[in-house]
């Protein structure tokens, strides 16, 4: 069984201490970076004020994106392909920003 590790992520210029399984740090950092980008995009739109409302809107957008991708049943291999594609897209977006 893996040990849980604690480390800090920054979302909207706020630091959060989170725990994850050993070996999952990169995925969690990518998820935090993705959430940060989503929240900043929403905040830039000027229609949502406040971190809490911004986080809820980002969560709704991300859930919708997930459900759109999950609408069609997938085999294990198809699901892994989707996950791999998402991870690649997140990695590319992070590299594009120079956050690596």
Residue-wise pLDDT for 16-43, tens only, equals 999 888 888 888 899 999 999 999 988 8
pTM for the full predicted model: 0.62
* CATH code of the domain occupying 4-97: 3.30.160.880
Tokens of 10: 């920054």
Residue-wise pLDDT for 44-77, tens only, equals 888 777 888 888 889 998 888 888 876 555 555 6
- Cα distance between residue 47 and residue 57, in whole Å: 11
């Amino acid at each position: 069984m893996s040990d849980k590790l604690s480390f800090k992520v920054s979302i909207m210029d706020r630091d959060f201490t989170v725990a994850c399984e050993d070996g999952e740090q990169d995925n969690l950092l990518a998820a935090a970076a993705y959430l940060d980008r989503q929240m900043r995009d929403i905040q830039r739109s000027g229609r949502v004020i406040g971190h809490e409302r911004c986080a809820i809107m980002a969560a709704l957008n991300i859930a919708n994106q997930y459900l759109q991708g999950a609408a069609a049943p997938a085999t294990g291999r198809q699901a892994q392909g989707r996950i791999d594609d998402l991870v690649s897209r997140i990695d590319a977006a992070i590299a594009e920003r120079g956050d690596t």
